[in-house]
Structure 1
Amino acid sequence: MRKSFIRLGVAVLVVILTVALYLCFWPVPIRAVAWSAPVPPGYVGPHAPNTRLSGLRRIEVAGQFGPEHIAIGPDGDVYAAMTSGAIIRMRPDGSDQRVFARTGGRVLGFAFDADGRMIAADAMSGLLAITPTGEISLLTNRVGADDPIGYANSVVVAKDGMIYFTDSSTRFAPAAWGSTLQASVLDVLEQSATGRVLAYDPKSRRTRIVVHGLSFANGIALSTDERSLFVNETGRYRIWKIDVAADDLDVGSGSPQAAVLVDNLPGYPDNLMRGRDGRIWVGLFRPRNPAADSLADKPLLREVLLRLPRSMLPLGQPYGHVFAIDESGRVVEDLQDPSGAYPETTGATETDKQLFIHSLHADAIGWLSR
């Protein structure tokens, strides 16, 4: 009997040691960096809880889901980039749906230039131009000769034709990690802050770095005078105001060309979209998770997390939330749905009659009457 207990004890010890060795030493793709997360404010002040985003009307899109980015084209049609790589085109009421283009990747943001071309940031391919007839061409997929653009995300086109767009991470490219969500989770967990803002000049066909050092650079918008860019830094819950003339600037350098406009948001900011009357709409993908914030200064524990089932990652609970700011960063409108019925609200597109809500995984396009 005693020998049996000894054998059982040895077996248990071996299992414990094996699990401990796995949790501590099994290779993971991230090299986590410590950072200081601000104390979350919660849903207070201009973000006090409400249900103004509840009960969205829905436009069903047959066979498609994930309208990550929605914009109104020069023709007045609604364009939506879907998970499949298809860009769907329809009338504002959802009628006359058809596929405008298929990029073969995943378009996360797009805008239109003066010639009516769609300029699309494809996370798998780079910066694309799509003619009104749906013909696709590559504008750029690298900075210089040996610096690839691995995670093109959001884009805006200035009146002079200059194209500004975000490259969310130079560490984790969706093409290498299977999906944009998987790559983004790895980047935010690592916190190495390799995101950047790029500028592409259609005349010279040159791509330059505007700023770097962002923890998952995401949504982008231009100021009214087009001298500044507003950029979401998803991994650190804030929005930057950046001088368009900045050149390869580290946002952490203290330069007046890059300043935090809105800090310590209650969730992960995603898309930025110009609305009416000077509004800039912001989508919060999910609320912050206290467990994630508590691990900000514990990089080794964040690496341990990746050795556990993905369901245990502190990604936050579903919660619908979009809000609008003015160019000073003041919140002028706030819409929430605590039920999270319309999942992962990534942004909002405003017309005089409707407010379309973007989503990473919804199976329809949600909208409110204005």
Structure 2
Amino acid sequence: MPVFFFSLRFLFFSAIIPFLASIVLYQLDTFDPAPFPPNALVYSTASIPPLINDQLLTGAEFIGVGLLNSPEDIAYHRDSGLIYTGCVDGWVKRVKVTESVNDSVVEDWVNTGGRPLGLAFGLHGEVIVADAYKGLLNISDDGKKTELLTDEAEGLKFKLTDAVVVRDNGVLYFTDASFKFNLHHFAFDLWEGKPYGRLMSFDPRTRTTRVLLRDRYFANGVSMSPDQTHLVFCETPLRRCSKYYINEERVEVFIQDLPGYPDNIRYDGDRHYWIAMPSGVTTWWKLSFRYPFIRKLQGIAAKYGFNTMILEDAGVLQVDLDGKPIALYHDPKHSHVTSGVKIGKYLYCGSLMDSHIVRLDLLKYPAQKRL
């Protein structure tokens, strides 16, 4: 009898009380995720291209090992042959890449004091930086001068300045992924499932910041079309990229039902866009996005230091100017690929986790037709 009583008491304190406490905690927590739009929950093979390399890391080379702390975006300056990338320690670094990665040179160029994400080149040699914490920055005079261009629109401060591109007339177009959550808490934006992102422009001549589109779901990468008529920008949780026609101020879908969650998008100068995807679509992501209560549990767990955001099978998708998928380079063992840039015969990949840039020889390790 005493043993039986002890067992019941042990069960009560070890299982039932924690269970009841978790229910109370769930009910009292104010984090309130919303359902995603139905089209975000559609999964098809329409965006799977005919050519695939599913072993991106096989044969890949690593540039700047240990010298590049989470190189999120990659921008290539054709005239100088230098790669610019922003790191988590605040440094915008310049990388001189040679045929042999062992001879590559990494230079600490400018430290923004924040977290540089998207990078673009201005009309007069300046480097434009979308700094997640600082706002939109202009670095000029070969790194000697850093100027804040804008950090708010319509009285609302940017929380996560993300990506930027420059039009031929000098106007900058950029995204604020979330006006509610900063980079440190960006996962809560995805879990909450509400559109806090904006697509904006900044005109250096008038110093005017305009909100072009609001109510976007984690507005992320942005790229300019080669004819300068429209932008292509990504919404990460919707697995969608859209066109924004600048003069008409209208939006249409560019590509949707992506095989992963898009981050940066880069135009390669050869009639192709390259869309980086930090993670492929997994069963866990599907369940999480479909059921708000799961995202609430993820949010509560994160507040207590438990990371439930598992990213895997990252890669880069190549599409044509019409959004038609051409080739996919990915790897189940890789994660957090945030940018993909084609330079010559190589694909260069940035990351939120790696301490280097991944380079793949596309001629030696091409994507091939699926069997």
Please give the range of the TM-score, normalised by the shorter of the 2 chains.
0.7 to 0.9
- Structure 1: which 5+ residue stretches go unaligned? 248-256
Residue 34 (structure 2) aligns with: 33
**Residues 1:4 and 1:337: Cα distance change in structure 2 (over 3 Å):** closer
SS in structure 1 opposite 2:142? coil
Residue equivalent to 1:169? 178
Kept in 1, the 8 Å contact 2:51–2:327? The answer is: no
- Alpha carbons of 1:354 and 1:4: their partners in 2 closer, same or farther (altered >3 Å)? closer
Given the alignment, which residue of 249, 257, 260 partners 2:253?
A: 260
Equivalent position of 1:205 in the other structure: 207
Aligned partner of 1:332: which letter?
Answer: I
Q: Would the alpha carbon gap of residues 234 and 275 (structure 1) be closer, same or farther in structure 2, given more than 3 Å must change?
A: same
SS at match of 1:306: helix
- Compared with structure 1, are the counterparts of its residues 5 and 200 closer, same or farther at alpha carbon in structure 2 (3 Å cutoff)? same
Closer, same or farther in 2 for the Cα pair 1:143/1:281, shift >3 Å? same
Residue of structure 1 equivalent to 2:329: 335
Tell me the distance in 2 between the aligned counterparts of 1:332 and 1:357.
Answer: 18
1:65 alignment partner in structure 2? 69
Query: Which residue is 1:279 aligned to?
Result: 272
1:302 maps to 2:295: yes
Structure 1 residue 62 displacement after superposition: 4.1
**1:186-201 maps to which residues of 2 (within 5 A)?**
186-201=188-203
In structure 2, distance between residues paired with 1:147 and 1:246: 25
Q: What is the RMSD of the two structures over their aligned residues, measured on CA atoms?
A: 2.4
1:158/1:20 CA distance change after superposition, 3 Å? same
How has the CA–CA distance of structure 1 residues 187 and 95 changed in structure 2, closer, same or farther, with 3 Å as cutoff? Answer: same
Pairing partner for 2:236 from 234, 238, 259: 234
Whole-Å Cα distance in 1 between the matches of residues 47 and 253 of structure 2? 20
- Whole-angstrom distance in 1 between the partners of 2:345 and 2:218: 33
Equivalent residue letter for 2:151: N
| Residue 19 of structure 1: how far off its partner (Å) | 2.6
Local SS of the residue matching 2:300: coil
Task: Give TM-score scaled by structure 2 length.
Answer: 0.86
Contact residue 43 and residue 266 of structure 1 kept, 8 A? no
* Matching residue of 2:131: 122
2:91 is the counterpart of 1:89: no
Q: Tell whether the 8 Å contact from 1:122 to 1:152 is kept in structure 2 after alignment.
A: yes
Shift in Å, 1:356: 1.2
Q: Structure 1 pair 63/96, CA: closer, same or farther in 2 (3 Å)?
A: closer
Partners of 1:261 and 1:101 in 2: how far apart?
A: 35
SS at match of 1:258: strand
Could you tell me how far 1:95 is from its partner in structure 2? 3.0
Q: Match of 2:369?
A: none
- Residue 44 of structure 1 deviates from its aligned partner by 7.7
Query: Would the aligned equivalents of 1:43 and 1:49 in 2 still touch at CA under 8 Å?
Result: no
Question: Match of 1:158?
Answer: 167
Matches within 5 A, 1:92-107: 92-93=97-98, 95-107=104-116
Count of matched residue positions in the alignment of Structure 1 and Structure 2: 348
Residue by residue over 1:230-249, the C-alpha shift from the partner in whole angstroms, topping out at 9 and shown as x without a partner, is: 001101101101112466xx
| Aligned-residue offset at 1:4 | 5.5
Distance 1:296 1:78, change over 3 A: closer
- Counterpart in the other structure of 2:343: 351
Deviation for aligned residue 1:312: 6.1
Paired residue secondary structure (2:32): coil
The counterpart of 1:137, out of the listed 147, 162, 172, is 147
Helix, strand or coil at the partner of 1:108: strand
TM-score, scaled to structure 1: 0.86
| Helix, strand or coil at the partner of 2:237 | helix
CA separation of 1:281 and 1:3: change in aligned 2, threshold 3 A: closer
**1:193, 1:216 within 8 Å by CA — same for their partners in 2?**
yes
1:160 Cα deviation from its structure 2 partner:
0.2
In 1: Cα distance, 2:7 partner to 2:347 partner? 68
Letter of the 1:323 counterpart: L
- Could you tell me whether the CA contact under 8 Å between 1:150 and 1:170 is conserved in 2? yes
